[in-house]
Amino acid sequence: MARKRPKGVLAMGWACIECAATGRTEHAPTSADYPDTVIRRTSFLAGGGHGWRISALETPRETPAPWKIVVITGAPSWAEYWAETMAELGPDRQMVVVDRPGYAASEPAHPVTDIRVQAQALAPLLQAEPGQKVLLVGQSYGAAIASLMAEANPRRVAGLVLLSGFFGETGPTARWLLDTGSKALKVIPKDLRHAVIEATGQKPQLAHARRALEQLSMPIHMVHGDKDDFAPLEVAERLTREVRTRRPINFIRTPGANHFLNDGPPEQLIAALEACIPQKKTWTFRLPKLPSLPQFRIPRPSFATAPVSQPSGLTAS
């Protein structure tokens, strides 16, 4: 039986401090919760020639699933917090969730603050099996990075989801955390320190993400909770109006959800992602309907005769 992940801001912060104190890179070890046949830890070499070893969680499948869901996590970037959702995923879906460069078990040890470099490093995640389609999900800070990944690899991405997207403007809770974290950078654990540095330096880079979104031709979905006090819902809604995308962004408002949709029931998040995947059409054979032929009416012959006139001078007897 899988034990529950720490939820909420304070619990997540404590998990980070506990891991730093014990020397762990994972914030809730997957090996203690799920067998390798359900979720397993994997790694790959970063793209862009950076040479970093990047760590991730994946759901193994004996045969490739029709859809591969690639999740670019936020800040701090912990794939472990998606484990419950991954374990509930159906056999017709695969999922890989990454610890972004600079977090958890991924290299390097320093923060990678350029979202363009992050996009380059994470590009190998988009490799898929023949016939397999990729749904790319950018969560929070990862939304801008995922937009750049989709722009650079348009043929590999069938759909883009911006999940609780963070776009430079903070809600009250995030603002307090960033202000407090900025004053304590020297004493807070590495992952929290990197998260503060990333989030406070993101806004000047958003022009890259906006330009990327304008170039995309694949379907774009934005999933946002209306109780999000980290990345305000109004900011996400304004982005959908301001960015001139090639096709309208499908905005999915999630009632009662906060910034951490992966903290809620796994079924709720899976349903939200499934709504972003085109459903396979079922074809039924029907005989074609023939056009109705015009009705021709044959005129009926008329048997009426003209009156017979009598010869002049004769009278009837």
Strand duo 93-98 + 53-58: pairing: antiparallel
Q: What residues are paired with 72 via a beta bridge?
A: 98, 138
Among 51, 52, 88, 47, which residue's Cα sits nearest to residue 69?
Answer: 88
145-152: average pLDDT: 98
Tens of pLDDT along 153-170?
999 999 999 999 999 899
CA-wise closest residue to 148 among 140, 139, 138: 138
In the structure encoding, which two tokens stand for residue 1, read together?
Answer: 């039986």
Pairwise CA distance, residues 261 & 306, whole Å: 95
Peptide bond into 291 cis (omega under 30): no
Enumerate residues 6+ apart whose C-beta is below 8 A from 198.
75, 111, 113, 141
| Rounded (5°) CA angle 54-168-137 | 45
Res 112: pLDDT: 97
Average pLDDT rounded to a whole number, residues 193-201: 95
Q: How far is CA 198 from CA 4, 61, 99, 219, 298, in A?
A: 28, 34, 14, 28, 86
Asked if residue 179 has pLDDT above 90, the reply is yes
More confident call, 85 vs 282: 85
Q: Would the pTM of this model clear 0.85, i.e. be above it?
A: no
Angle at 10 between CA 7 and CA 13, to 5 degrees: 90
Residue 283: φ, ψ to 5°: -100, 135
How far apart are alpha carbons 250 and 221 in whole angstroms?
A: 5
**Burial class of residue 110, CB neighbours in 10 A (0-12, 13-18, 19+):** exposed
- Cα 228 to chain centroid, rounded: 17
* pLDDT tens-digit map of 291-316: 665 665 656 655 555 454 444 444 44
Confidence check: pLDDT of 206 > 80: yes
State residue 107's pLDDT score: 97
Within 10 angstroms of residue 70's Cβ, the number of other Cβ atoms is 26
Q: Looking at residue 168, what is its pLDDT?
A: 87
- Report which DSSP code applies to 218: S
287's CB contacts (< 8 A; 6+ apart) are: none
Question: Cα dihedral angle (9, 253, 195, 136), rounded to 10 degrees?
Answer: 130
